[in-house]
């Protein structure tokens, strides 16, 4: 009887987890469908589907992004105390119509302000290069918002 109960519980957990993963990827379009247009890929899958990530751990965003995250910066603010309210990634460049290119910046805001000490230390020690250390630190942080801008634009993410 104990084995049967354990098996039922195990199968239920697997089914719930699978349904959750399928629900999060509803509407996700693979990068290959964008013929090299990284900006449109990011906007389609992350700006337009931010509800799939908001309120969830950052590790789900990292799992889905599928483009190299090379450099980043922490978004430090002073709100009664110094803290990190998010991070921004420089994703590979998006080619414009004139043969030039502009870096794409993906902004991820956190649900709560993080103490600034560790993000500041990692930025300094790793030269704002995204490493496994940063991934390990941020992967459990809950996302509040995601938005995308191109270098040189004045568009700001919602506060």
Would you say residue 21 has pLDDT above 70? no
Would you say residue 14 has pLDDT above 70? no
* Sequence ranges of the domains in the chain: 25-150
Tens digits of residue pLDDT in 105-152: 899 999 999 999 999 999 999 999 999 999 999 999 999 999 888 775
DSSP 37: -
Tens digits of residue pLDDT in 32-84: 998 888 888 988 998 889 999 999 999 999 999 988 888 899 999 987 788 99
Could you tell me if 61 and 69 are in contact, meaning their C-beta atoms sit under 8 angstroms apart?
no
Give pLDDT, residue 23: 41
Residues 6+ apart with CB under 8 A from 75: 84, 85, 86, 87, 88, 107, 109
Residues 6+ apart with CB under 8 A from 41: 29, 31, 34, 67
Rounded to 5°, the CA angle 137-142-147 comes to: 100
Query: pTM of the predicted model, to two decimals?
Result: 0.75
Other CB atoms within 10 A of residue 35 CB:
8
């Amino acid at each position: 009887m104990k084995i049967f109960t354990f098996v039922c519980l195990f199968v239920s957990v697997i089914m719930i987890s699978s349904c959750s993963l399928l629900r999060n990827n509803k509407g996700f379009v693979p990068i290959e469908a964008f013929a090299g247009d990284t900006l449109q890929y990011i906007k389609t899958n992350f700006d337009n589907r931010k509800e799939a990530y908001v309120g969830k751990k950052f590790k789900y965003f990292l799992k889905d992004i599928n483009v190299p995250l090379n450099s980043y910066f922490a978004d430090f603010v002073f709100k009664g105390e110094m803290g990190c309210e998010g991070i921004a990634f420089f994703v590979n460049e998006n080619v414009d119509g004139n043969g030039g290119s502009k870096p794409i910046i993906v902004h991820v805001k956190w649900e709560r302000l993080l103490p600034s000490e560790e993000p500041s230390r990692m930025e300094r020690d790793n030269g704002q290069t995204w490493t496994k250390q940063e991934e390990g630190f941020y992967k459990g942080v809950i996302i509040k918002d995601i938005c995308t801008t191109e270098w040189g634009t004045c568009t700001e993410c919602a506060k």
